[in-house]
Amino acid sequence: MEERRGRAPILIGTCNWVDHEEFYPDELRGRRQRERLAFYARYFPLVEIDSSFYGIPTPDRVADWVARTPDDFLFNIKAYRSLTGHEREQGRPRLPTDAEERAFLEALVPLRESGKLGAVHYQYPPWVVSGPAGREALLRARDRHPGDVIAVEFRHRSWFEGERLAETEDLLRELDCTLVGVDAPQLGSGTAPPHLAVTSDRLVLVRFHGRNYETWYRKVATTGERFDYLYRPAELQQWVPAIQAAADRGVPVHVLMNNNRSNYAVVNGFDMAHLLGVRAPRPPESILRRMEERDGDLPAWVREAAEPPAPPALEGSRQRAPNPVVAQSEQLHLDV
C-alpha cells in the first residue's frame, strides 16, 4: 500500500450509547435510545451500533438515529449474528437466510446515503478459525458489501499464531478489509493478542473490551458483567504510539470502548482523547467523579477543558457538534 501524506483523523467513541447509565443526566435515565443518542453526540463523533448483532433495526429506526446526530457524526454497525456464524442449528453454525441478509443490507441504506456509515463490523466467534472455511467467511462478507469499509474482528488465536499472522494480514489486504486491533484478556484460545496492523488504507480500528479475566468466558446476564473493567490511563497509553503511527501514515483510525459497565467506556474514551492530544469538551460531573475515585484527583487537562457544547437541537433540526473527541493526527508496534 502506498503511504499517504498528512495525518489522518482519529475518532473516539463507545460501543453503543445506551448502556452508559451513569453518563446521562437524570432526566435521560430510562428514556428511549434516540434521546440518549443526541446527548452522546455532544461529546463523541463516533459510535458503534451493537444492537444490530442481536436484532436487525428497521431502516426507519436507523434514519431516526441519523437525523438526531450532527452532519459529521459516524456510525459503525455490527453485522447481524447469522452473518458472522454465531447462529447455530443442531450445534453447527448456519448461514444467514436470504431474508436476514436482505434486512441487514436495507438497514445500512440510511447510513450510507447520509454519509454517516463508518464501517460494517464483522466480529467472528471463536469457532471461526484460520483455514479454508474461515477464508470463505471473509470472502462472503466482502462480496456482501462491495463498496463499504469492512472491519474484521477475530476471536480465535489461530489467525495470529506464527506464520498465520502474515497470511491473515495478506488476506485482509487482498480483500481491502480492516483487521481490528483488540485489547482483551489474554486467556485461552478465544481471544486475540494485542496487535495493530494496517491492512486497508481506508481504516484502522481498535476495540477495548477491558481486561477482566474472571468474566471473559463466564455466562453472564449482561455484557456489562463480561466487560466490567475500568482502564487506568497507563494501560491505554500502551496503544498510543501505534495509533498515532497509523494516523501519521494517513490512515483514519477509530478507537471504540466496549467496557460498557456503568460509565467506564465513557471515562476511558475521555482518557484516550487526552492521551492522543485531543481537545475534548469538559466531561459531565458523573464522569469527573469516576475519574477522581479512580485516580484520587482530577486530571490536569480537565481544568483547561472547554465547557460542554450547547444542548442538542430540537427534534428535526441538525447541527454540528463542537469540539468532538477527534485527534488530528509496554508500547505496541504498528505492522504495515
Domains and CATH numbers, the chain: 10-335 (3.20.20.410)
In this prediction, residues 172-177 reach a mean pLDDT of: 98
**Is the pLDDT at 322 greater than 90, yes or no?**
no
Rounded CA Rg of the chain: 19
Other beta carbons less than 10 A from residue 40's beta carbon:
26
pLDDT of residue 320: 45
Contacts (Cβ under 8 Å, ≥6 apart) of 176: 142, 150, 200, 202
Give phi and psi for 327, each to the nearest 5: -95, 130
Contacts (Cβ under 8 Å, ≥6 apart) of 280: 43, 270, 273, 274, 305, 323, 325
pLDDT of residue 10: 97
In this prediction, residues 150-164 reach a mean pLDDT of: 97
Share above pLDDT 90 across residues of the chain, in percent, rounded to a whole number: 75
pLDDT of residue 33: 64
pLDDT of residue 28: 85
Separation of alpha carbons 295 and 297, rounded Å = 5
- Mean pLDDT value across the chain: 90
pLDDT tens-digit readout, 214-257: 888 888 777 778 889 999 999 999 999 999 999 999 999 999 99
Give phi and psi for 116, each to the nearest 5: -105, 10
Among 10-24, 51-65, 211-225, 320-334, name the one with the lowest average pLDDT: 320-334
Cell digits of residue 284: 459531565
In this prediction, residues 298-315 reach a mean pLDDT of: 74
What are the Cα distances from residue 118, in Å, to 10, 66, 191, 271?
12, 12, 24, 22
Among 89-103, 196-210, 220-234, 265-279, name the one with the lowest average pLDDT: 220-234
pLDDT of residue 321: 43
Among 43-57, 217-231, 309-323, name the one with the lowest average pLDDT: 309-323
**Is the pLDDT at 281 greater than 70, yes or no?**
yes
Confidence at 309, pLDDT banded by 50, 70, 90: low
Nearest alpha carbon to residue 246 among 195, 198, 200: 198
